[in-house]
Amino acid sequence: MNTNDFEILLDSILTENNLQNRLQKDSLSKFALFYQKLIEVNAHTNLTAITEPDEVALKHFADCVTLAGIIPQNVTLIDVGCGGGFPSIPLAIVRPDLQIAALDSTAKKISFVKSVAELIGLYNVDAVCARAEDYVQTKRESYDVCVSRAVARLNILAELCLPFVKKNGMFYAMKSISAAEELEESESSIVKLGGAYKDSVDFELKYLDERVHRTVLAFEKQSKTPSQYPRKFSQIKKNPL
């Protein structure tokens, strides 16, 4: 699909989901270039299993644009495990007020995110190749907001994400149908890490016959994360808090 047709498709999907008002002046053309580059690079580097234009527009772009409506204004943000740039690139497109660090441990994915940011002129994204549990050693309690999508179950993810967040900052975990179950199994780990569950936003994205259920779980950082966290990843995985 060419970029013009993709812009028209995305515009109609965002309008159907009442997200059109989140767009900036050049957002549609930036999303179309992102889509084109995603498909081109995905042919040889595994970035996403979703490649059909309507599915990318709905399940990747509209999903991340919904998160954009939840994040406070003018904050510093880290996206842990950004992969091919989700949610960091869509957030950077529709929220130029955010200062974003897109973090992933896979060099090829970070090089893709860097090339997209350069291609579409996103000056508010810094792509970093590192493991979260290593990078946090120099960036503890440094960001107003941490976001993460499709990286790990919440009881593992919280230990990777909450240490990055400043006191009174927020951690948003983008989840699908397992959100309530993951929340329940993570209650004690969130508290041990200095966080507190605040609320969740459930939404359904739609296009033609497709229905996509998503939940954003929001946690507030109430106190500093004890210095023994995060542990080594092997320990986090073997024995979640």
Q: Is 111 near ligand SAM (CB under 6 A)?
A: no
Q: Which of 160, 161, 173, 190 binds ligand SAM (CB under 6 A)?
A: 160
Q: Within positions 128 to 157, which residues make up the interface with ligand SAM, using CB under 6 A?
A: 131-133, 149-151
- Give the residues across from 128 on adjacent strands: 103
Q: Give me the half-sphere count of Cα atoms (radius 13 Å) on the Cβ side of residue 46.
A: 2
Selection from 25, 40, 30 nearest residue 10 by Cα = 30
CB of 239 to ligand SAM, least distance (A): 16
Exactly one of 106, 124, 142, 200 binds ligand SAM (CB under 6 A); that residue is 106
Site for ligand SAM in 40-59 (CB under 6 A): none
Shortest separation between residue 178's beta carbon and ligand SAM, angstroms: 14
Give the type of residue at 133. Answer: E
CB crowding 35-46: b at 16 or more within 10 Å, else e: bbbbbebbeeee
Rounded Cα–Cα distance for residues 135 and 234 (Å) = 16
* Residue choice 32, 65, 82, 122 for contact with ligand SAM (CB under 6 A): 82
Select from 8-16, 17-25, 27-35, 99-107 the region that touches ligand SAM (CB under 6 A): 99-107
Residue 163 is a binding residue for ligand SAM (CB under 6 A): no
Residues 142 and 209: their CA atoms lie apart, in Å, by 43
Q: Is 86 in the site for ligand SAM (CB under 6 A)?
A: yes
Characterize the bridge pairing of strands 210-221 and 195-207. antiparallel
How far is CA 199 from each of CA 124, 168, 195, 220, 225, rounded to the nearest angstrom?
28, 15, 12, 9, 20
3-state SS, residue 34: helix
37 lines the binding site for ligand SAM (CB under 6 A): no
Q: Which of 105, 111, 124, 142 binds ligand SAM (CB under 6 A)?
A: 105
The residues of the shown chain that bind ligand SAM, judged by CB under 6 A, are 81-84, 86, 103-106, 109, 131-133, 149-151, 160, 233
